[in-house]
Amino acid sequence: MSLTNINVRGYHIDLYGHVNNARYLEFLEEARWELLDKTVDRDKWHRQGIGLSVVNININYRRPAVMGDRLEIKTTLERIGRKSVVLKQVIAKTGDRRLVAEALVTFVIVNMKTLQAIPVSDEIRAELTAING
């Protein structure tokens, strides 16, 4: 589990006075990098020529975030399959914990040369399972 904090700024806001729905995907990516910094040996992944590739994002927008909001993104491991990994990312307002958005983000492990998906090895499984630990 990893927590990432975002302050909503003027450039995050769109025509409707709310954080734009594309911007949330940058917030989620920010949170995933922070998570990976803490849990995964990215140098080793790089040496092994493997990486993560997003294949699906399913995001529910629950409540608009507005200028000045402080957001907290909680990222947890939802499940690991034979070839795919699902993270759950929940964005809430810091303080009153009201839900802003929640997303399931599905990855595959890819060979960075061929960009083909490869099975999740036991080693990677252990590394990713530690996310919730």
Binding site for a second copy (CB under 8 A): 7, 9-11, 13-17, 20-23, 25-26, 29-30, 33-34, 51, 53-61, 64, 67, 115
3-state secondary structure of 127: helix
Q: How far apart are CA 83 and CA 64, in angstroms?
A: 34
4 in Cβ contact with 73 (< 8 Å): yes
Shortest spacing between CB 18 and a second copy, in angstroms: 9
Return the DSSP state at 81: -
Q: Exactly one of 14, 37, 96, 122 is catalytic; which is it?
A: 14
Shortest spacing between CB 126 and a second copy, in angstroms: 24
Q: Which is nearer to a second copy, 22 or 126 (CB)?
A: 22
Q: How far apart are CA 108 and CA 51, in angstroms?
A: 8
69 is catalytic: no
Q: Which is nearer to a second copy, 64 or 119 (CB)?
A: 64
Measured between alpha carbons, how far is residue 80 from residues 14, 120, 122, 124 in Å?
A: 35, 8, 11, 10
Shortest spacing between CB 122 and a second copy, in angstroms: 25
81 in Cβ contact with 70 (< 8 Å): no
Q: Which is nearer to a second copy, 10 or 133 (CB)?
A: 10
Active site (catalytic) residues:
14
